Structure 1
Amino acid sequence: MTELQLQRTAEGPNVQEMPFWLEKATLWDQSDSSHTRKDISLNLRSLRDFFHQVLTEINNVSSTTETMKRLPLLGQVLGRLCWNPYVTADGASRGLLLQCLLALYSEHPSNAVERKANEWIRKVLCRLTTEEDDGATLAMMKHLGVPTREYYVKVLNKMVTMIQESIWKSRCSHSNRNQKCSCGSIQAASEAFMSLITCAEASPVIGTLLQQPAPCIRGGLSENFIDALHSAYSRCDLPLEEEVVISLWCHSLPFLEEAVLSLLDSATAAGSTPDKIKEQVTKSLLPKACAQHCSIFLVVNDIFRTVLKRAERNECVKDFLQTFTKCFLRELTLLQPQTSASLKAFFPQSPSSLLLYLLTMPSEMPRESWKNHLMWVSSTLQRLTEEEEEEEGSDAINIRGHSRVFEAWFLLAQCAHWVQVAVQLLVTSGPEDCGSLLWLLTFYHRPTNRWHHRAAQLVQAKAAWDQLYSIFSVGAHPLPADRLQPLLSLLSSRPQQLSLITLHLLVSFAVFGQLPLSTSTEITLKVLDQSGLREEAAHFLSSLRLQLNDQGCSANDSVSLRVEDLHSKIKQM
């Protein structure tokens, strides 16, 4: 039991608690140490409970005189607490203090005690009143003849200035190696601000505290302060500048994890499309924070790594990962080179040989270089898988481990725009040079296959490509009724990844092929109607549309027009 709980008896909790709170109020009034400020912060919730009990007692008694007889120490307790800026800075505590004082005020004082109490109450109310108090309270104050002067705000501003000066002195002493370590000063300042977190006047100091470097390994902000700040921001009680939010993420791992998972959940919720995912990620502060702080990116990327291990086949999660990486890389390019870490620092587990090749955007190199670029990426990935399988012998590659193959695939999933380029190039490639591109596509959709499984799947992918190459060839129409049956069989085959590979190829052939749009649309709609993969095809088309925008294609470009028309027809099915 707590110190306060031990003092409570059945005779009347308010009477028994009064000496406790008078002792607390006296101690708080006599010392302005870091210990005192921490004690106030830790007891504010219990103090508010006490105020509620006092208010109930006052309302159950017929007069102020009788209240003072039953609670003789009440005036001393309320008086000392009203003059304590750390208590009154808390909006809820100040509001309850106001209610208690107003409840004690006698509209028609019948004796000297009540007249003296009224005079004292008017004096104290001047200090507690601010322009932010509710209209009913201010109306009552005016009725009582109490001027609404901003004593409270003046005291609060003075206290904020005092703590700002304390922080500045801590920073100066930190720069002087001969001075004593200032860890205690920083912790004390953060403890002092726990009760001020939701006050607008205190917001500049909160930002300063969060961006204050710890003087030593033992230094840093109070955990209670960080928790209180996190709680206030989560309740939307505290608007913070972008830099302050990012600093809060640096200080609080749980807060950062919560922000990442919240964004991931909202962006990949049921019914999400690539466009909605992009909208959610683009307006998020997380990509910017990741670019500015390598430590934040490493945490965020590790969360993505864990999520992807559990959702390897979830296309929405892959789209989210790709979109987030694009936004992160865009923010990284906006920073001055000397202010950003190296790519290897951001991706320490990724194979170095692939890093620059995959993190380079397709729009950053000539189109005629795309095929050779992807051929090199595919051959490097094949070599990595072969080396790892040789090392592991008969043991299956475990996607849940931190193998080189998994890290390579994780990086490919983050840079899946290159996979889309590979599918685009497969439409114009001949049978003799589509092998490497098909291998890359199958690896992206099913990275856990061992060589013999992947070889079998590659044969099936090649069969799908052959069918589509034949169907979408100029001059091969009209098609016999049974010509689409082999393709439909591939779209309904197991594992599911093979049908996704086939569908991915189908969408690409329909968009980038040489057949007239009307013919391509007719074939595609017929296949989708019989295979039941309409939503999946619309998803691929939405991703392709975003990819084309990134490549600089205008809305009036012939390919973009084909994408829009086909997407519209599929949505109408």
Structure 2
Amino acid sequence: MAQVTPVPSLDLDFWLKKAHEWDQTDTLESQKDVCLHLPKLQEFLQHAYETLKHMSPNAAVEQFPPVGQLLGRLCENKFVLGHEETRNALICCLCCLQSSEPKSAVELKANSWVQNLLCHLFCSSEAIGHEEYKSIDKIGCTTVDYHSKLLKNIIASWIKQLTKPEGSNCENKLSGDYVRALSLRCIPILTLPDLVPLLEALLKYHSSEPKEVLDDEFLDRINNAILRKKILLSESAVLSLWLRHLPSLERAVLDLFQRLIAIQSKSLKEMEQIINDSVLAQAAQDPFIFRIIDNIFRNAILESDGNIKVITVVRLFTHLFIHIYQKNNTQVRFPLKAYFPNSDRLLVMALLRQPVGLQQDVCLAHLQSIIRMLSSVAKETRSRESVFESWFLLIHFGDWVDIAAELLMTSECEASDDLLWLLAFYYNPWNENQETSRTMTASRSVYERLLALRSSAAVCASKLQTLLEEEQQSGCHPCTLQLYRHLFIFFLLFSSEWHIAAKEFITHMTQTQEAAREVSDILARTVWRLSIPGMKSEKLITIVQELLHAF
């Protein structure tokens, strides 16, 4: 990272002295002196901004105590403000002194002071005459109040023009160039609370021009302010931003994705809250936005080679998206085919069915219908793309895979081969026929030995450890080992007599970081699934949570 040269204190003292001199007199000589120094002042302010933007407001004031006084004095000099580039540099410097999350009365007061100056500077960019400045005192209004009210009036006027119905006869209707210029002028003061209605009006503004009328930098900066929680806009305004500016949508998705991966949370509830706060699941109700998000997920899965954390993010996001979609009873909904255009409609509808409340035999029959559709693609087609699309769709609705593993451990059904095949496909969809046969033979052997242990009177963690070590030493594929871990965890959870050995065995099984991540993920999503209303699994949830916190 390039080192930032600090603002020399000598320069600060020099410009503070100059600003003080300019305040003391309004003579022609003073005005000439201001004009003479404007190029150097602009250069100094730009240099100051490049330094201050890398510092917190507190650090900036602590390192350069005169900076606030200097900026305040310069903001009161009408000849300094009359120079557009210098005024813009002042705005940028002031924004660096504004705390995004004030934590004390001093910071709140400083923010108020900065916002008043920003309001003043923004209004000063309008055509306000010298005589009008002189008359402020005569109308019984302070400068701060005057500019605050003026800003509100200016914003109200622009909003009125921006929201004029299309085709209305209005001579003062803003041109595309003017709207673009207005969006640029808003950039330095995006976080000013009074500006929010104007920002929303700009984002919802649409002209008949074929090109985007809002400046790209404005759209990029406002998206960044939203992601950093520096401004709070309505969902409709955010949706409008993402629909009209694809880079902003992509950046929002990547930001969400990175945050979810980084927290390494053992609680999907925490991840769920982050997704809800991002508004992306709500925005994804528009099929265009959903497909963009889904394509980013697709690339993430391909690039991470099916990383389990990435897969869980996709599962969780899809669950929240579907929850919002199904709650939407008041608006016209898009058909689900619009969201999954590359997937078989019958398979989509089958995966969408909610398993909560289904009898075990009904649940098993429904799973078998899902497995038949998936296996017809995996076994009969030679298209790698078709196999991937079917597997990627299963990833979205992966709860059915966990339900299959649960059924294997809670019922001795004749369909165990089908359920084992689903787990094998979930963990490795690219298995060729011969490799699939080996995986199925090995997983069936593990499954049958687990059933035998469930029937055993002696509960002992060492028996499970021996079985796991034998399979690890057999040189099985890493994906097959993931399948085994899934079976072992669900064996422990759904065989109540084995709960006493669960902690000891899981500690043994999670010696590597990779295994620990996988087991943690399985346990976290099990807690989340069992916490869905109607599951009535409080005791089991408590056991899983204890295991989660054990490592």
8 Å CA contact 2:459–2:501 kept in 1: the answer is: no
- Corresponding residue for residue 128 of structure 1: none
Q: Would you say 1:265 and 2:258 are equivalent positions?
A: yes
Helix, strand or coil: the match of 2:356?
helix
Aligned partner of 2:278 among 264, 281, 284: 284
Task: Compare CA radii of gyration and give the structure with the larger one.
Answer: 1
Retained in 2: the 8 A contact 1:214–1:220? yes
Pick the aligned partner of 1:154 from 141, 149, 152.
149
CA distances 1:68-105 after superposition (whole Å, capped 9, x unpaired): 54762747999xxxxxxxxxxxxx9x998852376899
**Aligned 1:348-497 pairs, distance under 5 A:** 348-363=341-356, 365-389=358-382, 397=384, 403-430=385-412, 432-473=414-455, 475-477=456-458, 485-491=466-472, 493-497=475-479
Question: Any conservation in 2 of the 1:375–1:436 contact (CA below 8 Å)?
Answer: yes
Instruction: Give the CA deviation at 1:304.
Output: 0.6
Between the aligned partners of 1:74 and 1:469, the Cα distance in structure 2 is 89
Structure 2 counterpart SS, 1:363: coil
Aligned pair 1:188/2:178, yes or no? yes
Partners of 2:35 and 2:226 lie apart in 1 by 35
One-letter amino acid matched to 1:341: F
1:562 corresponds in structure 2 to 540
Task: Identify the match of residue 173 of structure 1 among 157, 167, 172.
Answer: 167
The answer as to whether partners of 1:58 and 1:67 remain within 8 angstroms in 2 is no
Q: Which moved more, 1:269-278 or 1:344-353?
A: 269-278
Match of 2:288 among 290, 295, 300: 295
CA distance in 2, matches of 1:304, 1:242: 22
- Determine which of 203, 206, 231 is the counterpart of 1:238: 231
Contact in 2 for aligned 1:287/1:324 (Cα 8 Å): yes
CA distance in 2 between partners of 1:481 and 1:64 (Å): 88
Q: How big is the shift at 1:387?
A: 2.7
Residues paired across the two proteins, number: 452
1:163 and 2:158 correspond: yes
Is 2:516 the partner of 1:522?
A: no
C-alpha contact (below 8 Å) 2:266/2:524 kept by paired residues: yes
Report deviation, 1:526.
Answer: 3.7
Q: CA deviation at 1:295?
A: 1.5
Task: Check whether the contact 1:160–1:205 (CA below 8 A) recurs between aligned residues.
Answer: yes
Q: Does 1:133 align with 2:126?
A: no
Distance 1:491 1:156, change over 3 A: same
Q: 1:425 to 1:408 in 2, by over 3 A?
A: same
Partner in structure 2 of residue 88 of structure 1: none
The verdict on how the C-alpha distance between 1:187 and 1:333 changes in structure 2, with shifts beyond 3 A counting, is farther
Q: CA deviation at 1:202?
A: 3.1
Retained in 2: the 8 A contact 1:423–1:504? yes
d(CA) in 1 for partners of 2:27, 2:435? 85
User: Structure 1, unaligned stretches of length 5 or more?
Assistant: 1-51, 79-91, 106-130, 138-144, 398-402
Shift of 1:63: 9.4
Structure 1 contact 294–345 (Cα < 8 Å) conserved: yes
Quote how far apart the aligned CAs of 1:439 are.
0.5
**Distance in structure 2 (CA, Å) of the matches to 1:352 and 1:135:** 54
Matches within 5 A, 1:212-231: 212-215=205-208, 217-218=210-211, 220-231=213-224
Residues 429 and 366 of structure 1, relative CA distance in 2, 3 Å threshold:
closer
- The alpha-carbon distance between structure 1 residues 314 and 530, as it changes in their structure 2 partners (threshold 3 A), is closer
Per-residue deviation, 1:501: 0.9
CA contact (8 A) 1:273 1:542 kept: yes
RMSD (CA atoms): 4.0
Q: TM-score, normalised by structure 1?
A: 0.68
My pick for the range that moved more, 434-443 or 503-512, is: 503-512
Alignment match of 1:330 (pick from 307, 317, 323): 323
Distance 1:236 1:501, change over 3 A: closer
1:58 to 1, 4, 18: 18
Structure 1 counterpart of 2:184, one-letter code: M
Kept in 2, the 8 Å contact 1:491–1:498? The answer is: no
Is the 1:211–1:244 contact (alpha carbons within 8 Å) kept by the matching residues of 2? yes
| Residue identity in the other structure for 1:154 | K
- Cα shift at 1:369: 1.4
Indicate how the Cα distance of structure 1 residues 228 and 413 shifts in structure 2: closer, same or farther if over 3 A, else same.
Answer: closer
TM-score, normalised via structure 2 length = 0.71
Equivalent of residue 550 in structure 1, options 529, 532, 544? 532
